[in-house]
Amino acid sequence: MKSLIINHTKTTPEINFDCNSHILNITGKSYPENISEFYGTIFVWLEEYLDFIDNQNVTVNIDLTYFNSTSSKVLMDLFDLLDEAVDDGKNILINWFYDEEDPDTLEFGEEFQDNLESIQMVFIGKTS
Amino acid sequence: MIDIIYDCYRDLKKENIFFFYNGIFPHEVITEIAEMIFNKTKMEDVKAITRNRLFSVIVEQMQNMNYYSDKHLNNSDSSVGEGTIMVGYEGNYYFVICANMIEAEKIVPLREKINKLKSMSKQQLKEYYNYRRKQKSEIDSKGASLGLIEIARRSSKPLEFCFKEVDNELSFFLLKTII
């Protein structure tokens, strides 16, 4: 299968899902005009990818400086999908990048973790 | 004409409103306004947490207006909603006021919704937000209907809101968030 690369815009993050290195990056800001149009492609790719992999180590890096409430819902759906994959025996880890100067950004990550059963989230502080 | 404009200018200054916009809220306008105010707070060395909360509230409030305003561009069925946004200072806080026309029948459910959020503690708001995020979206909801909860969570003081009847069909709805 092919990697998924989407350049960032002012309101959509950069997507760099590399199916060779198994590193999936979501970087930037997320408050798209059309949420389903933007994330639809990403979910289609992810579902195919999760069928494609065995038990390789997969790292998902979430480095979002802003996401709106609608994106927050989509991220929850995305993490649920990954969570189920972990239940099925896949080895997936999420790195959650947060701003050390803004405790809210750590809390956002922790709230996702609290709502997930199996997948592990690692919190990585950044100085802005 | 100049008197009206001057009065308007003077009143905005008096209320410490540094940003005012009245018009339609397509995505491009929302993005530009949010970024402009973000850049202003960044230049002024505002703390990251305050800066980010202000940005978040501004985006959510404008998106709500765009989705839910019952007055549209050229009175058409266009999805671009019309309204007003003001951002200003109040002591050590920022405030964001958004106002738009809504249909009279929407007043009661909206009032209930906001009063429910106002009655909640920050911890309750967090739990409610997480509960709603796990649910499927409401049919009439263009967003994830999490916007108002997000606004309530980011605000430093209880939300303020009111309605002013314009005619039999429409009322003017105002929402103020203090950050």
Domain boundaries, chain A: 4-126
The one-digit pLDDT tens for each residue of chain B (179 residues) are 999 999 999 999 999 999 999 999 999 999 999 999 999 999 999 999 999 999 999 999 999 988 878 877 666 556 688 899 999 999 999 999 999 999 999 999 999 999 999 999 999 999 999 999 988 755 445 554 799 999 999 999 999 999 999 999 999 999 999 99
Instruction: Inspect the interface and report whether the beta carbons of B35 and A99 lie closer than 8 Å.
Output: no
Q: Report which secondary-structure segment, H or E, holds B161.
A: strand B160-165
* B48–A128 C-beta distance less than 8 A: yes
Which residues are CB-neighbours of A95 under 8 A, at least 6 positions away? A59, A60, A61, A62, A121, A122, A124
- The interface pTM score, or ipTM, of the predicted complex is 0.93
Instruction: Report B:60-99 residues touching A (Cβ under 8 A).
Output: 60, 63
pLDDT averaged per 10 residues in sequence order, chain A, 128 residues = 96 97 98 94 97 95 97 95 96 98 96 96 92
* pTM given for the model: 0.93
Domain that holds residue B147: 2-178
Question: Does A68 contact B63 at a Cβ distance shorter than 8 Å?
Answer: yes
Query: What three-state secondary structure class fits A10?
Result: coil
Q: Which of residues 120-139 of B touch A (CB under 8 A)?
A: 126, 130, 133-134, 137
Token digits of residue A63: 């480095």
Total number of domains constituting chain B? 1
Q: Do A68 and B31 touch (CB under 8 A)?
A: no
Measured distance CA(A94)–CA(A15) in Å, rounded: 15
Residues of chain B found within 8 Å of residue A66, distances taken between Cβ atoms: 52, 55-56, 59
Using a CB-CB distance cutoff of 8 angstroms, which residues of chain A are in contact with residue B143? 69-70
- Topology given in CATH for the domain delimited by A4-126: Transcription Regulator spoIIAA (3.30.750)
Is B146–A69 a contact, with Cβ atoms under 8 angstroms apart? yes
CATH number of the domain where residue B79 is located: 3.30.565.10
